[in-house]
Amino acid sequence: MDIFDFDAPQEMVLCGASAYNKKFYLNPDFNGLPETIKQELKLLCVLFTEDIGGVFELIFDEDGSLFIRTDCEEEDILYDEIGSGLMVKEVQRSKRDLFHSLELYYRVLYLGQTPEEL
């Protein structure tokens, strides 16, 4: 039996932040993004974890769609689960244009799609 399943769906983390270690992560593959976009992503991630707690990630799925994943440690009683759901919806609404642009960027540069395919 193979250890790796190359047919399994692939995800790529764009960025994330953790309230536990107070750190922000930007995938080095995306260092080519404009500085203003990188700063906006950092602000988004850090503010989310400061308000809600836990871990916040922006992730591309295998089709190039960007989605939000939040999580917390099991013993974290300060994590605001209800607030998390509400804030995710607000981020999706308020950052719709940014997310759409990032999806196009990812689909062209990493999935090799042409403008006609988009």
For 26-60, write each residue's pLDDT tens digit: 999 999 999 999 999 999 999 999 999 999 999 99
What is the pLDDT, as a whole number, of residue 9? 57
Q: Is residue 116 part of a domain?
A: no
Q: Regarding beta strands 55-60 and 66-71, do their DSSP bridges make them parallel or antiparallel, or are they unpaired? A: antiparallel
Q: Is residue 50 part of a domain?
A: yes
Q: Which pLDDT band holds residue 89 (cuts at 50, 70, 90)?
A: very high
Q: Is residue 46 part of a domain?
A: yes
Q: Tell me what the mean pLDDT of segment 8-32 comes to.
A: 92
Q: How far apart are CA 45 and CA 18, in angstroms?
A: 8
Tell whether the model's pLDDT for residue 2 goes beyond 90. no
Q: Is residue 64 part of a domain?
A: yes
Count of the separate structural domains present in the chain: 1
Both tokens of residue 12? 């790529």
Identify the bridge partners of residue 108 per DSSP, sorted by sequence position.
none
Q: Which pLDDT band holds residue 96 (cuts at 50, 70, 90)?
A: very high
Q: Is residue 51 part of a domain?
A: yes
Q: Is residue 114 part of a domain?
A: no
Q: Is residue 60 part of a domain?
A: yes
Q: For residue 23, how many other CB atoms are within 10 A of its CB?
A: 12
pTM for this prediction = 0.87
Q: Which domain holds residue 52?
A: 12-109
Q: Is residue 7 part of a domain?
A: no
| Numbers of helices and strands, H then E, in the chain | 3, 4
Both tokens of residue 73? 């440690």
Tell whether the model's pLDDT for residue 8 goes beyond 50. no
